[in-house]
């Protein structure tokens, strides 16, 4: 009996650890939800162990709380190992199975290295890129629990490095206006109380500064930067380079 598939998602954002997605693109996800899209987050690991957390249950509860603040429809935590996450066949298949099950049109994945932070992030980028491809491979059904193939239309990267200006080569950068959801984003990051106690308040200053800087360049109060992995086309140049000011009308 083929598995009953859940309702499809429009966008899935993939992180290595709970809080990666919130830090880099929480404002965008909250905006997409307000615009009527169905959004999911996949954490490749549960992020444990970490120095300040009492255990995985607490971290999972924080992740669930953050997801509720953003208003997203699904959050999936895969059981890949934190701190020793490596791009490999099983890792790619595990993520591709999520893509086949939830059938996103767009995948958001970590873009680039994060110097002085976890090397899991770079591995997550490789796993995500590969899993987007694996999601549509035919004649390999048994490797994917016989889930139907699914072709993802676009892969967009989000830079996660807070201490680097480097971006992946040959990527087209664009900025998403998060002025309306910046406070929601901060609240979702604050849900990770074990990761961001008062002595790490500087993380919020960094996020505010980075989102303010990227937003200002595009004419927004706050913005999140994305990098298209492939060429983006448009049939409305005016709307593309001159987006409407203010919140977009719901669909």
List residues binding Zn ion (CB under 5 A).
Answer: 16-17, 20
Q: Which is nearer to Zn ion, 120 or 177 (CB)?
A: 120
Distance between CA atoms of residues 9 and 7, nearest Å: 7
Q: Measured from the CB atom, is 94 or 125 closer to Zn ion?
A: 125
Q: Rg (Cα) of the chain, in Å, rounded?
A: 18
Whether the link from the prior residue into 49 is cis, omega within 30° of 0, is yes
* CA 37 – CA 11 distance, rounded (Å): 8
Smallest distance from Zn ion to CB 54, Å: 19
Least distance from C-beta 20 to Zn ion, angstroms? Answer: 4
For Zn ion, which is the closer residue by CB, 20 or 62?
20
Cβ burial, residue 109 (10 Å; 0-12/13-18/19+)? buried
Least distance to Zn ion, CB of residue 102, Å: 22
Residue 13 C-beta: closest distance to Zn ion, Å: 13
Which residues are paired to 107 by β-bridges?
Answer: 12, 155
Closest to Zn ion by CB, 21 vs 72, is 21
Please identify, using beta-carbon distances, which residue of 64 and 149 lies nearer to Zn ion.
Answer: 64
- Minimum CB separation of residue 145 from Zn ion in Å reads 28
Nearest position to Zn ion, beta carbon: 17
Per-residue exposure over 123-148, b if at least 16 CB sit within 10 Å of its own CB, e if not: bbbbbbbbbbebbeeeeeeebbeebe
């Amino acid at each position: 009996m083929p598995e009953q598939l859940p309702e499809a998602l429009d966008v899935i954002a993939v992180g290595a650890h709970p809080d990666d997605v919130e830090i880099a693109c929480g404002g965008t996800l909250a905006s997409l939800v307000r615009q009527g899209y169905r959004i999911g987050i996949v954490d490749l690991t549960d992020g444990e162990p970490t120095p300040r957390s009492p255990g995985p249950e607490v971290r999972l509860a924080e992740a669930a709380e953050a997801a509720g603040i953003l208003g997203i429809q699904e959050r999936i935590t895969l059981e890949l190992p934190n701190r020793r996450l490596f791009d490999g066949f099983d890792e790619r298949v595990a993520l591709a199975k999520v893509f086949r099950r939830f059938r996103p049109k767009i995948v958001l994945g970590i873009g680039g290295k994060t110097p002085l932070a976890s090397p899991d992030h770079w591995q997550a980028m490789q796993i995500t890129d590969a899993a987007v491809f694996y999601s549509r491979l035919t004649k390999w059904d048994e490797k994917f629990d016989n889930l139907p193939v699914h072709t993802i239309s676009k892969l967009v990267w989000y830079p996660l490095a807070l201490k680097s200006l480097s971006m992946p080569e040959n990527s087209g950068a664009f900025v998403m206006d998060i002025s309306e959801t910046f406070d929601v984003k901060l609240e979702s990051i604050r849900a990770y109380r074990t990761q961001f106690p008062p002595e790490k308040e500087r993380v919020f200053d960094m996020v505010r500064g980075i989102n303010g800087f990227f937003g200002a360049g595009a004419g927004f109060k706050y913005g999140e930067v994305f990098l298209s992995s492939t060429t983006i086309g448009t049939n409305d140049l005016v709307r593309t380079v001159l987006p409407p000011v203010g919140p977009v009308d719901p669909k």
